[in-house]
Chains A and B, each alone.
Chain A
Amino acid sequence: DAGITQSPRHKVTETGTPVTLRCHQTENHRYMYWYRQDPGHGLRLIHYSYGVKDTDKGEVSDGYSVSRSKTEDFLLTLESATSSQTSVYFCAISESARERETQYFGPGTRLLVL
């Protein structure tokens, strides 16, 4: 399995508080992604990174920001959490963005916003 860890694995927070999720990889892959998974919606891309300090928006980026100061770490921040951001968040990595390049996923973070 790809060396991807996510922290925390579970978090309960209150509406309006900031939350930061961390994805850490040991594969030295260039690309990193944040997805959220909700019932009835499959996985949806939030943001992705194609290098240190290089990020771009995905399908559902509103309310989220990301940062990547090191190759191995990709942070997802909810500046002011809302109940609609209750979800399971998955990080993924890939060596490149070519169509034949595989994305490998982390174990996920379950976030509950009360």
Chain B
Amino acid sequence: QVQLQESGPGLVKPSQTLSLTCTVSGGSISSGSYYWSWIRQPAGKGLEWIGRMYTSGSTNYNPSLKSRVTISVDTSKNQFSLKMSSVTAADTAVYYCARVTGGGYYDYWGQGTLVTVSS
């Protein structure tokens, strides 16, 4: 059974860089044809797709966040990561990682981690 777990600082100062990691267990991040994705949800609001990384390492990002976001993978640790620069209070949200198949099936989700941007 594949499991995903987000981790990282729960508090980030404005203008700094948010860094989160998603650890994958129960399967190799480098095998199969999957998109390793990040989604976020501000409190009381809807889901927002941030971006994804394919098993090959290629990436796609939400156009509205593209200039500030980088998704990368560390296959040795079976982890993929999200970095978002120049954060503001508007980036305060629960951040989820998810695995997505080539057919668009969001088959596994992490439990989510709350990141608050505040001084």
A, B from the same assembly: no
